[in-house]
Structure 1
Amino acid sequence: MQKTLNVALSKRSYPIIIGENLLNEFHHFKLQAGQRVLIATNETIAPLYLQPLIDMLEKNGVKTDSIIVPDGEKYKTMETWNTILTALLANNHTRNSILIALGGGVVGDVAGFAASAYQRGIKFIQVPTTLLSQVDSSVGGKTAINHPLGKNMIGAFYQPQSVVIDLNCLKTLPQREFSAGLAEVIKYGIILDEDFFNWLEIHIEELLNLDVKALSYCIYRCCQLKAQIVAADETEQDMRAILNLGHTYGHAIEAELGYGNWLHGEAISVGILMAAQTAKLLNKLTDNDIDRIKNLLIKAKLPVIRPKHMSIESYLPHMMRDKKVLSGQLRLVIPTKIGHAEIIDGIEKEIVFESIQRV
């Protein structure tokens, strides 16, 4: 059931390989005997997958070092980024070394950013181990760290040389983390593919039960949709911004409550509903579509009610630091029907507050 697709970016094109037991198969990593790698992973993933990956690589003649960083969104920081750079320096890695990011979105983002900066850029490989990272953050070359004043505000567009998605890693993923990943999955259906959204309504239980056939199709379709957008707009000058549906609202929740208190996907779930309410207030989305979106999020075991201890007024300062803001004007991605979204400029703060209030 192995599948491969390509992110078409001319000389920076790379494959995404999806299947089972891929961590045991050397040829997927596009490495050669004698090369040196640093594997960056976290405290949760290391006991599960680090040593088997090291053993497989070294058996094939690859020299490996590793660095284990703390687990969680609150560690997506300058300090963690510096820890990875220090490991590269301390082990005398060169411009020919390759950094492997083994973990979820935090590890992938921080390690990718470290790869972009080390000796002005070394190659790196994404090995995502969470659903969220497999369908979203490992694909497209967005690398970043958080700042207390804003999420993902410090980083670089830097593409991996390959993405290796082993479905078996999802077997050790906690239910809450898996559901968080489904928020990004559902997002793709809302903004780009009505047929995929319809498929999710039918097959969501199979995904929650880790049915391999359903997972393989789901992850492939999400990566395919994202690859198409990235190939058309790599550095988010235009249409790639629609991939941020719910993120402007959701990032405000993450930043205000403290990174990690709400998982990224949980905040995005609520953010998607806030964006849907914005669309409703602008007469661009029907109540029926909002109900379908909300019901699917509920089936995915995601929150659909905002954190009530967070004031409505506290959203706006975070939202105004969003990367989509232009000339002081708030820009939001809103769904206009299932399968289509638009970027709207200059939305009044009264509409934003009412959208938040409704969720």
Structure 2
Amino acid sequence: MVVIDKAILHILDVNEANEVFSDKLLNMDLSTVEFLIKHIEKSVTSQEAKKGTFYTDSEFKSLVEGYKNEEMDFIAFSREVAASLYKLLITAEAVTSADVLICDARIDEVRQLVIFKCNNHQGYVHQVNVDEEGKINTELVNNYAILPGLTQKMDEFVFINLENMEVLSKSRKYNVDGNAIYLIPELLLECGQTPSPAETIKEINKVVKKVAEAYCQDEVAAVTAVKNFITENIQNEAVIDPVAVGKEVFQDNPSMQADYSQAMEDAGFAEPVEVNQEATLKKMRKHKLSTDTGIEITIPTDYFENTEFVEFFKNDDGSMSITLKNIQNIINR
């Protein structure tokens, strides 16, 4: 359950070098509350979000603690956050203007500070004009400050647990002085990050394919084994252990296990990561294949190794064939 106690919006127009800081809190009418709650619920469970820990000398952490200890009010605190972010954004290349929403909220009874950086998107809105004679003229107007809709995702966000100061964030890289960096966590928050669940799964599949290819093994079968293992294990505990995945997939070959584990460690993905059970299971239950001939096939993971439904053949010329079986009906989509 999400309860929003305070919320405010500031405008960071980097294109016009203009900051518009609000002096008042948002009016929490039904549409505003719905907008904020929907995006909070969607973002806090995002598999692209990374957990983080503030550096001991983080100035942002000190700022948050000052607000938490009531050394400043919410409006003054939010303006400092927005001003700090603006100063960083104007140093980066190819930055779009943004609205910054800051909330003091309770998520499942835990007090959290929420920061949404809503990059402005282009869109069309209608405008009604009335001339001197009272005649109405309607027109389309190209608007450059469109916020994400309820079905869309926030571009970048930060959740700070005010009870234990843990950080959860999703951010993008910006070019600053010729270096691509995660501007919000690295420069604004000054915190370290662990890999996100989505990144971890992607890296596991990447390394499994690479190791299978190096040992002339079937890459498709190896990736399928990954999905089967993850699907089975996260039903009991919503955690993925990359090392355990390698031991299972390459259980008959210690050398492949060792190469996989070393590659995951070198890439910084050796530690277990918590995942959203429902979202991960939904993703793992299907296996999508793309062929070099442009054909795409989506097969339920449960059927992948069941030769009663699908079978793979290696032809004498090195090409592959796929046979789909026991089909009663085909629907065009």
Fold match (TM-score > 0.5) = no
- Whose radius of gyration is greater, 1 or 2? 2
TM-score range (shorter-chain normalised) is: under 0.3
> Which has the larger share of helix?
1
Instruction: Return the TM-score normalized by structure 1.
Output: 0.26
Instruction: Return the TM-score normalized by structure 2.
Output: 0.28
> Which has the larger share of strand?
2
